[in-house]
Amino acid sequence: MARVFVTRELPGPALARLREAHDTTVWPDPLPPGRAALLEHAAPADALLTLLTDRIDAELIAAAPRLKVIANYAVGYDNIDVDAATARGIGVGNTPDALTEATADLTFALLMAAARRITEAAAFARSGQWQTWEPAGFLGADVYGATLGIIGLGRIGQAVARRAAGFGMEVLTTETRDQHNLEHLLRRSDYVSIHLPLTAGTRNLIGTDAFALMKPTAILINTARGAIVDREALAQALHTGQIAGAALDVTSPEPLPPDDPLWQAPNLLVVPHIGSATWSARERMTEIAVENILAGLEGRPLPHQVPSQVTD
């Protein structure tokens, strides 16, 4: 039996399959293992099932001489040094498709909540201040017929575009390689939604220059990775009214420290990285991660290998 370390307890029954097949240790705490604990448990492991909160860098990979496969419980894998793993012949898997529709749903939920000021209105109603119907109370922005700019047209971006069609929205799309198209999208869009992986090229992509191009009525939605948005520039854009609002499922760091200035920005909605948080999506993610582990330990190709390791 191989030794497998899983860095958090996961939803669904699939972990039972892993426990039956291999000597599996699951980190028991609700918070992720610290660096020392992660190194300690990785050192004798043949396989790791990791979360985006776990930094699997070259140092850790070098300290795990038996390691054959890493399964990341996410679509993104910027927490893993894939080059270092590839150099060792270690397969790296992710969980594509399983969370596409759930994340697209949340994207649209954030868009709607920010546009129609749902959280503010709900808090007002609960506070006891609500006295009557007000003709000018909690006025928001139209969604139907508005223009949605989608930055990154992978699975999730395409799923968001399908939802936008139901609202009669004009959809503009771009990839980061086309700077002219990106600038056009930022200028035209009433809502800008980010669906990119975090890379050296996308880090802080949406910063001071991008906000300067956006409409003062525009709302930014990010369900991708927090570091794609320059949080200091975002706080400035919100404080000065350069854009109308932002709705974030992801931040950098996660969580934001309680004293981070971004918390003081107006018209900001933040939720705690719940894009894939449905029972079916998370259980399917567990199944896919386990499938990747079992395949790697049996010397088979990973059924869901990260794109940067796919050569054909």
Tell me which of 273, 282, 284, 304 is the catalytic residue: 273
Tokens of 94: 């992710």
**Which tokens in the block code for residue 80?**
């893993």
For residue 121, the surrounding DSSP H or E stretch is helix 118-127
Distance CA 31, CA 76 (A): 20
In angstroms, the CA 159 to CA 105 distance is: 9
> Quick check: is 304 catalytic?
no
CA 211 to chain CA centroid, nearest Å:
21
**From 120, 183, 254, 283, active-site residue:** 254
Phi, psi of 108 (to 5 degrees): -70, -30
195 is catalytic: no
Cβ atoms < 10 Å from Cβ of 278:
17
Question: Is the CB of residue 281 less than 8 Å from the CB of residue 97?
Answer: no
One-letter amino acid at 79 equals N
Q: Position 20: which residue type?
A: E
Structure tokens at 174: 């771009």
273 is catalytic: yes
Question: Considering only CA atoms, which of 64, 100, 98, 91 is closest in space to residue 294?
Answer: 91
φ, ψ of residue 110 in degrees (nearest 5): -65, -40
Sequence-distant (6+) residues with CB within 8 A of 85 are 56, 61, 70, 91, 92
* CA-derived radius of gyration, the chain: 21
Annotated catalytic residue, options 225, 231, 282, 304 = 225
Q: How far apart are CA 48 and CA 51, in angstroms?
A: 10
Query: For residue 301, what are the CA distances in angstroms to 47, 68, 268, 291?
Result: 14, 12, 44, 10
The residues carrying an active-site annotation are 225, 254, 273
